[in-house]
Amino acid sequence: MRVFRLATGGLLTLSLIPALILSLVLGSPAVADVADYPAIKVTRVVASGLDTPWGLAFLPDGSALVSERDSGKIKRIDPRGRVGTNVTTVGRIKGVASAGEGGLLGIAVATPQGSSAPVLFAYLTSRSDNRVVRVQLLKGGKRLGKQQPIVTRIPKATNHNGGRLLVGTDQTLFIATGDAGDPKSAQDRGLLSGKVLRVDFDGQPAAGNPRSGSPVFTLGHRNVQGLDVDGKGRVWASEFGERDADELNLLVPGGNYGWPLFEGRGKDARFINPSTVWSPTSTASPSGIAIKNDVVYVASLRGERLWQVPIRGAKTRKAKSWVLGDRGRLRTIALAPDGSLWVITSNTDGRGSPRSKDDKIIQLAIR
C-alpha cells in the first residue's frame, strides 16, 4: 500500500520548523506550495455548552440548527447573539435511541421545489435501525413540526453508523451509512450499510442513480462521516479506516471503494483508490468536511486538528494540517452563509477530554 504524504505549517503559521518536524515523523520531505493553502484564523467562539453536538445546518435567515447525539434535541444558534444566551432548543427528534456512537447524527436543511418553507432532514438511530426523517420547520425554524420517516432499515450498531447528510445540487439527498460492524455488508448491494445513498426528498431512489430503483450511489465504505460538494457539483466523502489508512474520496456514481477487501490504496482495478490517505489513522480520523473555493477542510477527531486539502481536477494536493489551539476533537465543519467556516468540537462524546464550557462551535476566517 502506498501512503499519501503530508506536510504542515503548524500552529497557524507558515513557519517551516513545524513542517520539518512533522515531515520527520510522517516521512514527507516536501513543504506544500503556500499559494494553494489559504491562511486560517480562529475569529471567535460562536456557541458553547452543547451536549455531544453532531450535525450542523444553516437556515435561510443565517441562524443555524445543531443536533445533539445523546439528547435527541435540535438547537438553534443565533450568530448575532451573545455566547451563553444565543442557544435555544427548537425541539426533540422522536424515536432517538442513543447508544455508543448511535443517536441523533447528521442534519440538513433544504427548501423543496415549489415550496417557500424549508424542511429539516435528520439521520437517527432508533431501537430497530438507522433511519432518515423529514421534519417540518415552523416559525422560521424556531419550532419542529410533523416528523415523517423517509428512509428506514439502515443497519445499526453501537459504532459505524455513518450519519452525514448532504443536500445535492438537484433536489436530492445524499446519505452516508457505516458498515454497522459487519464489514462484508459494504459489498452487498442489497443492504444499505457501508454505502452512500442518493434519494429524492421523499426518500425514493433518485432519478439517474447507477441502478434504477436502488438508492445506492456508491458502495464499499467502512464508515463515511463527511460529505460535501465541490464547485463542479461533484461529491467528496471522508472515511474512517480501521488500522492502516483514513481516506478522502471523490465519489463516482456506482463506484466501489474497496472495504473490507482493503483500506487506503490498492492495485485491484475493480475498486476506486482514495484521492488522499492519512496514515496511521491516529493522524486524522476524519469526520465532517466542508469545501470552499475547491479546498476541502476536514475536521479530525483523534488527530484533533483541521486538515486542508486543495482539489486539482480529479485529484488532490498534499494535505496540510492546522492546529486551532487547545480545542480537542473536531467533529463537524460547515460553510456559513457569510463565507466563514464553523467547526464543532466533540469532547463530550465519551472519548474526549472536555474543556471548560464544551462543547463549542468555533468560527474560522479563511484568508
- Calculate mean pLDDT across residues 301-319: 96
Task: Determine the pLDDT at residue 194.
Answer: 98
Task: Determine the pLDDT at residue 17.
Answer: 29
- Residue 242 — pLDDT band, cuts 50, 70, 90? very high
Element holding 20 (H helix, E strand): helix 16-26
Task: Determine the pLDDT at residue 1.
Answer: 38
- Residue 36 — pLDDT band, cuts 50, 70, 90? confident
Question: Is the pLDDT at 309 greater than 90, yes or no?
Answer: yes
Question: Is the pLDDT at 6 greater than 80, yes or no?
Answer: no
Rounded to the nearest integer, the mean pLDDT of the chain is 91
What is d(CA 264, CA 57) in angstroms, rounded to the nearest whole number? 30
Task: Determine the pLDDT at residue 25.
Answer: 31
Burial of 252 (0-12, 13-18, 19+ CB in 10 A): middle
Task: Determine the pLDDT at residue 21.
Answer: 29
Instruction: Give yes or no for a contact between 343 and 362, defined as CB atoms under 8 angstroms apart.
Output: yes
- Residue 243 — pLDDT band, cuts 50, 70, 90? confident
Task: Determine the pLDDT at residue 347.
Answer: 98
The proportion of the chain whose per-residue pLDDT surpasses 70, expressed as a percent, equals 90
Q: Please name each of the domains of the chain with its CATH number.
A: 16-366 (2.120.10.30)
Give me the DSSP letters along 107-131.
EEEE--TT-SS-EEEEEEE-SS-EE
Task: Determine the pLDDT at residue 116.
Answer: 87
- Calculate mean pLDDT across residues 219-228: 98
What is d(CA 352, CA 339) in angstroms, rounded to the nearest whole number? 29
How confident is the model over 267-297, as pLDDT tens digits? 999 999 999 999 999 999 999 999 999 999 9
- Calculate mean pLDDT across residues 85-92: 98
What is d(CA 347, CA 271) in angstroms, rounded to the nearest whole number? 35
Contacts 24+ apart (CB under 8 A), 26-32: 26/283, 28/318, 30/5, 30/318, 31/7, 32/7, 32/317, 32/318, 32/320
pTM for the structure as a whole: 0.90
Chain centre to alpha carbon of residue 235: 12
Give me the DSSP letters along 46-97.
EE---SSEEEEEE-TTS-EEEEETTT-EEEEE-TTSPTTTSEEEEEE-TT--
How confident is the model over 125-184, as pLDDT tens digits? 999 999 999 999 999 999 999 999 999 999 999 999 999 999 999 999 999 999 999 999
- Calculate mean pLDDT across residues 316-331: 97
* For the chain, the helix, strand and coil percentages under 3-state DSSP, each to the nearest 5: 5, 40, 50
Neighbours of 309 (CB within 10 A): 26
Question: Is the pLDDT at 237 greater than 90, yes or no?
Answer: yes
Task: Determine the pLDDT at residue 54.
Answer: 98
Distances from the Cα of 31 to the Cαs of 22, 60, 237, 320, in angstroms? 10, 40, 25, 9
- Calculate mean pLDDT across residues 350-354: 96
Phi, psi of 296 (to 5 degrees): -90, 125
Question: Is the pLDDT at 15 greater than 70, yes or no?
Answer: no
Task: Determine the pLDDT at residue 29.
Answer: 28
- Calculate mean pLDDT across residues 305-317: 96
Question: Is the pLDDT at 360 greater than 70, yes or no?
Answer: yes
